[in-house]
Amino acid sequence: MRSTRRWRAVLELPELNIAVFAFLLNFAWEILQSGFFRGMTEARHGDAVRLCTMATFGDVGIALGAFWSVAWCSGGRSWPLHPTAAQVTGFTALGLAVTLAVERLATQVWGLWAYSEQMPMIPIAEVGVIPILMWMLLPPLIVWFVRRQLTGRTRDVAAQ
């Protein structure tokens, strides 16, 4: 009984849920956007999956950093249970700002990756549209999934 309560407490950690849903959603996005990066369509399958997995772990780190920043400003880690528009906007904006900086540095300063000719570009920022769209669309979806998971809404529906 005691170990069950411990596991339940771990599974209900907001950070764990943010990390799990960020990983699942971002990994799918990373795989789908891979054709917009130079060399990914020619890469061996295993190499492409490894690169997408590494990028996804970076995305999870960004999501956790944004989560903790919003938690600090909101006065607690439970904000995804009843998120306000400001909290979701802050979570999204922080991830977006970090991604803009990382994309710009990685492509123009560090040379870690390059965009293919198919990548639509944001002219002023000189970064690809697809990675920026990821950080505009996925954070609100992550919060939505986490809220459903932590409030048990899916369990309530199944019990009826």
Q: What is the DSSP letter of 36?
A: G
> Per-residue pLDDT averaged across 52-66, rounded?
98
Residue 84: which domain range? 2-151
Cα distances (angstroms) measured from residue 128 to each of 12, 18, 50, 145, 148 = 35, 25, 21, 27, 32
With a cut of 90, say whether residue 107 has pLDDT above it: yes
Q: How far is the C-alpha of 41 from the C-alpha of 88, rounded, in Å?
A: 34
Give yes or no for residue 55 having a pLDDT over 90. Answer: yes
Alpha-carbon distance of 62 to 10, in angstroms, equals 21
Q: Is residue 104 part of a domain?
A: yes
In the beta sheet, which residues pair with residue 105? none
- Whether 1 shows a pLDDT value over 90: the answer reads no
According to DSSP, the residues that pair with 122 across neighbouring strands are 127
pTM above 0.85, yes or no: yes
pLDDT at position 58 over 70: yes
Instruction: Give the total number of structural domains in the chain.
Output: 1
Confirm whether 108 is domain-assigned. yes
What is the pLDDT at residue 154?
52
At residue 103, the pLDDT reads 97
Quote the pLDDT of residue 159.
44
Does 80 fall in a domain?
yes
Please report whether residue 159 resides in a domain: no
pLDDT above 70 covers what percent of the chain?
94
Whether 61 maps to a domain, the answer reads yes
- Domain membership flag for residue 160: no
Q: Is residue 156 part of a domain?
A: no
> Mind listing the pLDDT tens digit for each residue in 108-156?
999 999 999 999 999 999 999 999 999 999 999 999 999 999 998 654 4
pLDDT category of residue 72 using cuts at 50, 70 and 90: very high
Average pLDDT for 19-48: 97
What's the confidence (pLDDT) of residue 153?
62
Task: Let me know if residue 123 belongs to a domain.
Answer: yes
